Chains A and B, each alone.
Chain A
Amino acid sequence: MLNIKLPEFKNKVYPDLELSLLEPSYKINLRGKSRDFFTKAGKLLSIMLPLESNTSANIRNINALWLSPDEWLIYGKDIDKDLEISLNNEISKLKYGSVTNVSDQWVIINLKGKNTFELLSKGSPFNFNNFKEKKNVVVQTLLNHIDVILHHQEINDLNLFVRKSFSEHLWLWINDSCRFI
């Protein structure tokens, strides 16, 4: 049997900040712009894909993150292979858009606590002043020069998406920076 090897990030607790790995998790990249695309995606995901830039929509255990006017990242506990197949059959195969499994492309790290943005500010050029006051917002920015997607789902509860190959380096950087918050 092939073994699954996930990043070996142990949960960490720092003053007013908790770090944990949310893997394995299913992630799907959706791209499209036609009316049929939105209808099919909405029906299968039971969620309206957010149209406002840098926002997210969520229902039960499915999150849809706005990445660009025609691109969304879907993730959550209720996303699985069956849903991917349905999306593929209803969207990709009917030529309404594209559905791509990116589960292993991204690693999700959850940051929780009052010091979440204190930490992020140590290595990101993004101004979090307004961002940190809002729920269900998304930003694609840099953290220690590494591309990340930040999904602020609840106040001071944030999921950070980083490409798998960068994840170990960023995890170490985050833990190092936590010493200074």
Chain B
Amino acid sequence: MKELNLLNSPKFELDEIVNSTNNTVKKFLNIPKTDLDDANISCSKEIEKRNIWLLPNYISLGKNKSFIDFQNDSTAKDIKLAMREGFKSIEHVKRYTTTGMATDQGKLSNMHALGIIAETAAVKMGSLGTTTFRPPFTPLTFGTIVGRSVGKFFDIVRKTPMHEWHVKNNAEFENVGQWKRAWYYPKNNESMHQSVQRESKAARDSAGILDASTLGKIDIKGTDATEFLNRVYTNAWSKLSIGKCRYGLMLNEDGMVYDDGVTTRIDENHYLMTTTTGGAANVLSKLEDYLQTEWPELDVWLTSVTDHYATASICGPNSKKILKKLFSDIEFNDENFPHMSFKNAKIDGIDCRIMRISFTGEHSYEINIEAKYGNSLWEKCIEAGKDFNITPYGTETMHLLRAEKGFIIVGQDTDGTMTPIDLQMDWIVSKKKYDFIGKRSLYRSDTMREDRKQLVGLLTEEPGTVLEEGAQIVQDENKKPIEMIGHVTSSYFSPNLNRSIALAVVKNGKKLKGQKLLVPMENKTINVTVSDFIFYDKNNERLNA
């Protein structure tokens, strides 16, 4: 093994370099002594090592921010102030300044804070105490804590039972909550606009089919289920007969719209509630919370069945004929199966539920079946609808169709500041019921103000101009500062009306009907007229067509 020659190893300290050079010179000149032999060289080894906790700066500390805790934004100045104010214990300094109290628990800041305290108090570091050292004791990657949330696993994906069919049929997808929902189905290189125009025209002219499996579904059972719904929704439920469905609006305690959906009375003490797709988990949580804390006396049991059922929604003037082909033993006339009712049915011997409810304003049916049959049911519906040019449509067309009818989407046309009265849905708020969630708040002076932002329709002066969702609305462009009186919540080009339509929330909107307003955009100002928010089939004649 080769021996390490220490004599020839590199020297880095000043004394070592000088001595080494001196010896080499003496050897080279062959002399016994030089002046350097007596020189006293002080090198870094002899100089006291010193940590710098606070870098010196030519700007005074009062004018300069030396951040110590990068999460809580506490600075060296804060620590010195704490000490001036008499906080000596490290625990007090920590709480006064919040240094080390962020999610890193001081991993980045505590040592610097201790050093600055020690220097300021002129004591040895640590003599005023140390904070409790928290795990992780050694640095960890975030991956260790959160798991393999990387790449395609970073964002969770939920899929409906019909997802593969949508993929095979060229669907573009939209993220709704964690769900992948079919957005539109482009054909022959269609743009989104072209697809949506085709799909919505087909749904109005003949038949359309939508995968509605993502809607939240809550099974409600118990002897007090009706009373429970009376307390949860703004409208009355006591007189809803078995086999009937009803639309309900749920408020927060502050009186603002929280969620909506159709609930079906399956049996005397059994209901099936539907919620918005994005709100399903929160609604269940909220309702369970009320049952456990506010209304423990109610005999009501909730169970989530969102994933248990797949839902195919068929709408359009030919929907009845398609359903008749699928369920030949059911009479689909208005007497036997009226709008807002449901029937238990069987398809190929498999139990399912058919609800005659509509989110498009068309004659519509929703078929609920156990999820494992969902894809097969969907294919069967498509097959049965071939003669009627049944057209699968996505969420974008669904949004357009419902906007034509002035149906709201909670979360799009509402933003947590809209009461049912603001939405011009006074009809759904029962005046007779003793109580429901949010009732009291509806009678606060602020929520009763006449000039609150209210839901209205907007029609552009130029029918081909489609407003941008989120665009601000003003009444007087010359007023300084310019007053924004509302914004556009939903906006589409309707092929059925052959013009653009929009929903908006506008201050004092109810009284502005017929008035002209302005929507200033980057390059131009668009003139609009406030209109009714129902643009299509105001008398609901198509529901029973």
Listed in ascending order, the chain A residues whose CB lies under 8 Å from chain B are 1-6, 24, 29, 31-32, 70, 92, 95, 97-98, 100-106, 122-124, 144-146, 163-166, 168-169, 172-173, 176-177, 180
Chain B 151-195 residues near chain A, CB threshold 8 A: 152-153, 156-161, 178-179
Q: Are B307 and A104 in contact (CB under 8 A)?
A: yes
Most central of A31, A32, A164 by chain B CB within 10 Å: A164
Report Cα–Cα, A60/B370, bound state, in Å: 27
The answer, yes or no, to whether B106 is at the interface (CB within 8 Å) is no
Interface-facing stretch out of B36-44, B126-134, B219-227: B219-227
A169-B222 contact in complex given A4-B373, A124-B147, A164-B371, C-beta closer than 8 Å: no
- Residues in A with CB closer than 8 Å to B447 are none
Most central of A3, A24, A97, A163 by chain B CB within 10 Å: A3
- Residues in A with CB closer than 8 Å to B303 are 29, 31, 98, 100, 102
- Residues in B with CB closer than 8 Å to A173 are 148, 153
Q: Are B371 and A104 in contact (CB under 8 A)?
A: yes
What are 13 A-B pairs at a CB distance below 8 A? A5-B375, A31-B301, A32-B301, A95-B269, A95-B299, A98-B222, A100-B305, A122-B148, A165-B158, A166-B156, A168-B159, A173-B148, A173-B153
- Residues in B with CB closer than 8 Å to A101 are 308
Q: How many residues of B contact A (CB 8 A)?
A: 44
B311 to chain A, nearest CB (A): 12
Report Cα–Cα, A102/B270, bound state, in Å: 16
A107 to chain B, nearest CB (A): 9
Q: Are B219 and A177 in contact (CB under 8 A)?
A: no
Q: Are A165 and B307 in contact (CB under 8 A)?
A: yes
A181 to chain B, nearest CB (A): 11
Report Cα–Cα, A2/B383, bound state, in Å: 13
B327 to chain A, nearest CB (A): 13
Q: Are A144 and B179 in contact (CB under 8 A)?
A: no
| Set B148, B301, B307: member contacting A164, Cβ < 8 A | B307
| Set B160, B350, B375: member contacting A165, Cβ < 8 A | B160
- Residues in B with CB closer than 8 Å to A98 are 219, 221-222, 301, 303
The answer, yes or no, to whether B361 is at the interface (CB within 8 Å) is no
Q: Are A102 and B308 in contact (CB under 8 A)?
A: yes
The answer, yes or no, to whether B347 is at the interface (CB within 8 Å) is yes
| Set A2, A105, A144: member contacting B304, Cβ < 8 A | A105
- Residues in B with CB closer than 8 Å to A124 are 147
A115 to chain B, nearest CB (A): 15
Report Cα–Cα, A169/B155, bound state, in Å: 10
B222 to chain A, nearest CB (A): 7
The answer, yes or no, to whether B348 is at the interface (CB within 8 Å) is yes
Listed in ascending order, the chain B residues whose CB lies under 8 Å from chain A are 146-149, 152-153, 156-161, 178-179, 219, 221-223, 269-270, 299, 301-309, 347-350, 369-377, 380
Report Cα–Cα, A165/B307, bound state, in Å: 6
- Residues in A with CB closer than 8 Å to B147 are 122-124, 144, 177
- Residues in A with CB closer than 8 Å to B380 are 2
Q: Are B179 and A180 in contact (CB under 8 A)?
A: no
Q: Chain A: which residue is nearest B160 at the CB level?
A: A165
Report Cα–Cα, A2/B162, bound state, in Å: 13
- Residues in B with CB closer than 8 Å to A146 are 156
- Residues in B with CB closer than 8 Å to A144 are 147-149, 153, 156
Top 7 nearest A-B pairs by Cβ distance?
Answer: A123-B147, A98-B301, A98-B221, A104-B371, A165-B158, A31-B301, A105-B308
Q: Are B159 and A165 in contact (CB under 8 A)?
A: yes
Q: Are A97 and B301 in contact (CB under 8 A)?
A: yes
A104-B223 contact in complex given A29-B303, A98-B303, A144-B149, C-beta closer than 8 Å: no
A103-B159 contact in complex given A5-B372, A172-B153, A176-B153, C-beta closer than 8 Å: no
Q: Are B305 and A123 in contact (CB under 8 A)?
A: no
B369 to chain A, nearest CB (A): 8
Q: Are A104 and B372 in contact (CB under 8 A)?
A: yes
B157 to chain A, nearest CB (A): 5
- Residues in B with CB closer than 8 Å to A1 are 348-349
Q: Are A100 and B307 in contact (CB under 8 A)?
A: no
B173 to chain A, nearest CB (A): 14
Report Cα–Cα, A102/B219, bound state, in Å: 10
| Set B158, B270, B304, B305: member contacting A166, Cβ < 8 A | B158
Most central of A24, A124, A145, A176 by chain B CB within 10 Å: A145
Q: Chain B: which residue is nearest A101 at the CB level?
A: B308
Report Cα–Cα, A29/B372, bound state, in Å: 18
A103-B370 contact in complex given A97-B301, A177-B148, C-beta closer than 8 Å: yes
Q: Chain B: which residue is nearest A24 at the CB level?
A: B372
Report Cα–Cα, A177/B151, bound state, in Å: 12
B158 to chain A, nearest CB (A): 4
Report Cα–Cα, A24/B308, bound state, in Å: 13
- Residues in A with CB closer than 8 Å to B158 are 163, 165-166, 169
Report Cα–Cα, A64/B221, bound state, in Å: 20
- Residues in A with CB closer than 8 Å to B299 are 95
- Residues in A with CB closer than 8 Å to B156 are 144-146, 166, 169
B301 to chain A, nearest CB (A): 4
| Set B146, B305, B350: member contacting A2, Cβ < 8 A | B350
Report Cα–Cα, A6/B164, bound state, in Å: 12
A104-B269 contact in complex given A164-B371, A165-B159, A177-B148, C-beta closer than 8 Å: no
Q: Are A104 and B148 in contact (CB under 8 A)?
A: no
Report Cα–Cα, A2/B369, bound state, in Å: 11
Q: Are B301 and A123 in contact (CB under 8 A)?
A: no
Report Cα–Cα, A102/B306, bound state, in Å: 10
Report Cα–Cα, A146/B153, bound state, in Å: 11
- Residues in B with CB closer than 8 Å to A70 are 301
- Residues in A with CB closer than 8 Å to B159 are 165, 168-169
| Set B146, B152, B305, B375: member contacting A105, Cβ < 8 A | B305
Q: A31-B301, A105-B308 are in contact. List 7 more A-B contacts (CB 8 A).
A: A2-B350, A102-B308, A103-B308, A104-B308, A105-B371, A165-B158, A177-B147
